[in-house]
Chains A and B, each alone.
Chain A
Amino acid sequence: MSKRLPDRVAARILLGAASSAIAILALITVFIFREGLPVIIDRGPLSFIAGMRWAPSQGEYGLLPMIAGSAVVTAGALLLGLPLGIACAITLAEMAPPRARTVLKPTIELLAGIPSVVYGFIGMEVLVPFIRENPAFGGAGYSALAASVILAVMVLPTIVGISIDAIEAVPHSFREGSRALGATQWQTIAGVVLPAARSGIVAGVILGIGRAVGETMAVIMVAGNSVRMPHSLLDPVRTLTANIALEMGYASGAHAQALFATGIVLFIISLALNELAGRARRRRRVTQTVPEPTLTTAETRAELLGGDNAPPLGREHFA
């Protein structure tokens, strides 16, 4: 008997473990803010976020070029990655034979596992010289364009994976209904399946954005890291993540604080994106399981999943 944990003790311990994620989140918040908030308060939040100049040696900390950099690079990545990713998801979920799907889906998910430094390296070795030597582009090669392409490849698995799940969750009867009315496969996909899977796909896209905004190493290796508002895709840019990783090495005092403050901005953006993705996902859960109300309490859950094998239905059963 001794090896058996009393049930209630187990529950306590497990609750402790379950709280760990919250505790870590709280610790992260506390430490990032403790290190970074002083400099934001000192310079004023507005001039920190909307400031155009980043010159730590002169005590100037304006983050706008980096915010713009992150935005441009992410937008570029979406522009390239989104059509590709969704097309890929549609093909695998709707058109590919099951055999092909079982091989291809994990293969694409594999892309997500490859270290970001490897992507960055390939960017440096292949993409940057290509952009530099190609007369259509030109410039130094280290550019928002290079970063966007690398990021597009990196967010593909996220978009594909979650979109496939969303598309597969669309009830089969939707498709049959549409095909029965004489619609082609593509008409069914565009007119019925995609709209039904929309919020799930949106969640995948937002998570993809989150990954692009948060990526550090691959971007630092190919983006050029100039602190300047980008005017074209061929301009070098510095993202928020790159700003931190680039200057952490020697920074001290207010400079180090400003890097943590950069982290605060990044942290808030990430949480906001995550919240958006969460909402999209929750909306999907509600819309796609219409017959069931959301399972909130133990009672209602029991009522639905019930003890009875044939759930008691009440009087209407006899009507």
Chain B
Amino acid sequence: MTAYTAAVAASPSPSRSPAPAPAPTPSPSPSKFASPRITQQFAQIALWSATALTIAILLFVIAFVMRRGLGSISWSFLAGSPRKSGAEGGIFPTIVSTLYVTIAAVAVATPLGLGAAIYLAEYTSEGWVSGIIRRGTESLAGIPSIIFGLFGFAFFVTTLGLGWSVLSGGLTLGAMILPTVIRTAEEALRAVPREYRHVARSLGATRWDAIRTVVLPVAAPGIMTGIVLGIARAVSETAAVIFTAGVALRIPTSLFDSARTMSVHFYTLTMEGISDSQAYGTAAVLVVTILLMNVVAYTLMHRFTRNLR
């Protein structure tokens, strides 16, 4: 150990220290037991292995689901109706349900979130109003989804009497993804150079004209990123939907119909031990959907930053 330490410490140092006198550099090193070079190498190895482990976990999660799930996926699985509580047949109704609930959520969260972001980024200076709004948005972002589920159940399902429905689920998820949309959209708007606004205003545009014609078009990909991330969150959510959209395993025909999303279906298949192969298949569809969403979001973000040069 000591020999190795000495060898490693000694060999590269002559080439690296052209200083004429071996002036003892006051070392900011936190380590007192090993030479800085050893610590450096040790740290490097440790850090890289930790990173490798993290990546490995991710790959394992995806590979595990894919290897067992992709085999179950077929046209009849995607487009077919479930039989025997989902033990056989397809998952088409849950795909449609997911789509409906997500559309409802986005329809709620986009105008509100975009409006809020425009207000925060364009219409108000940092004062107490924006402070409160920003604090509220941050707080909302930190609330566990199960609380949204409880709230959605007490408010939309019970008090407003919407029942377990696409609408209740969509409104609840809309509230849940609102902070994501606000934050991403505000960041996108703030990233648009101030000069663009000034140019527009100097050419006779009102504040709203400038936002509509210059700021929003430039920020659009960034805003879309937020919406896509919101969609991804809505698709993968279980706790908030199960109490609000319900679990009916059929294609909803109206906003007031109960609906079972893919995530809830997957949860039910798993927890009721109905069918492992069906569960893996559903999980694979879910994970592929989320992967695609992330790729889309990333591509949009990339385009946005390129737009801004």
A–B contact, 8 Å CB criterion (strictly below): yes
> Would A31 and B266 be within 8 Å (CB), given that A14-B116, A18-B133, A122-B65 are in contact?
no
| Chain A residues positioned under 8 Å from B283 (CB to CB) | 117-118, 121
A161 to chain B, nearest CB (A): 12
A interface SS class: helix
Bound together, the chains give a CA A91 to CA B270 distance in angstroms of 37
Q: Which residue of A lies closest to B115 (CB)?
A: A17
Looking at the complex, which one of A10, A124, A267 makes contact with B147 (CB distance below 8 Å)? A267
Q: Does B279 contact A (CB under 8 A)?
A: yes
The total of Cβ contacts below 8 Å across the A-B interface reads 283
Classify chain B's interface size: 35 or more
Judge whether A108 and B135 touch: CB under 8 Å: no
Q: Does B188 contact A (CB under 8 A)?
A: no
Q: Does B30 contact A (CB under 8 A)?
A: yes
Q: Does B170 contact A (CB under 8 A)?
A: no
A197 to chain B, nearest CB (A): 15
Bound together, the chains give a CA A184 to CA B43 distance in angstroms of 11
| Chain A residues positioned under 8 Å from B113 (CB to CB) | 17
Judge whether A32 and B151 touch: CB under 8 Å: yes
| Chain B residues positioned under 8 Å from A95 (CB to CB) | 44, 47-48
B175 to chain A, nearest CB (A): 5
Q: Does A296 contact B (CB under 8 A)?
A: yes
Judge whether A22 and B28 touch: CB under 8 Å: no
Q: Does A136 contact B (CB under 8 A)?
A: no
Q: Does A41 contact B (CB under 8 A)?
A: no
| Chain B residues positioned under 8 Å from A215 (CB to CB) | 144
Q: Does A295 contact B (CB under 8 A)?
A: yes
Q: Does A66 contact B (CB under 8 A)?
A: no
Judge whether B28 and A192 touch: CB under 8 Å: yes
Judge whether A214 and B145 touch: CB under 8 Å: yes
> Would A187 and B28 be within 8 Å (CB), given that A84-B50, A114-B290, A266-B147 are in contact?
yes
B144 to chain A, nearest CB (A): 3
> Would A14 and B118 be within 8 Å (CB), given that A21-B178, A111-B61 are in contact?
yes
Bound together, the chains give a CA A19 to CA B115 distance in angstroms of 10
Q: Which of B116, B194, B266 has the most CB of A within 10 A?
A: B116
Q: Does B203 contact A (CB under 8 A)?
A: no
Bound together, the chains give a CA A207 to CA B176 distance in angstroms of 16
Residues from 122 to 161 in B contacting A, C-beta threshold 8 Å: 123, 125-127, 129, 132-133, 135-151, 153-155, 159
Q: Which residue of A lies closest to B133 (CB)?
A: A18
Bound together, the chains give a CA A120 to CA B136 distance in angstroms of 30
Bound together, the chains give a CA A10 to CA B209 distance in angstroms of 10
| Chain A residues positioned under 8 Å from B58 (CB to CB) | 107-108, 110-111
Judge whether A7 and B112 touch: CB under 8 Å: no
Judge whether A83 and B126 touch: CB under 8 Å: no
Residues from 251 to 308 in A contacting B, C-beta threshold 8 Å: 259-260, 263, 266-267, 270-271, 273-275, 277-278, 295-298, 301, 305
- Beyond A21-B179, A216-B144, 12 extra complex contacts between A and B, CB < 8 Å: A108-B58, A110-B290, A115-B238, A117-B263, A184-B40, A185-B44, A191-B30, A221-B270, A241-B239, A245-B146, A270-B143, A271-B142
Residues of B within 8 A of A (CB): 25-30, 36-37, 39-40, 43-44, 46-48, 50-51, 53-55, 57-58, 61-62, 64-65, 111-116, 118-120, 123, 125-127, 129, 132-133, 135-151, 153-155, 159, 175, 178-179, 182, 194, 206-209, 212, 229, 232-233, 235-239, 242-243, 263, 266-267, 270-271, 279, 283, 286-287, 290-291, 293-294, 298
Q: Can you give 25 contacting A-B residue pairs, CB < 8 Å?
A: A5-B208, A7-B207, A18-B119, A18-B133, A21-B136, A27-B151, A31-B151, A34-B154, A110-B290, A110-B294, A114-B61, A118-B61, A122-B61, A122-B65, A183-B29, A186-B43, A189-B43, A191-B30, A214-B147, A217-B239, A245-B149, A270-B142, A278-B135, A296-B127, A301-B125
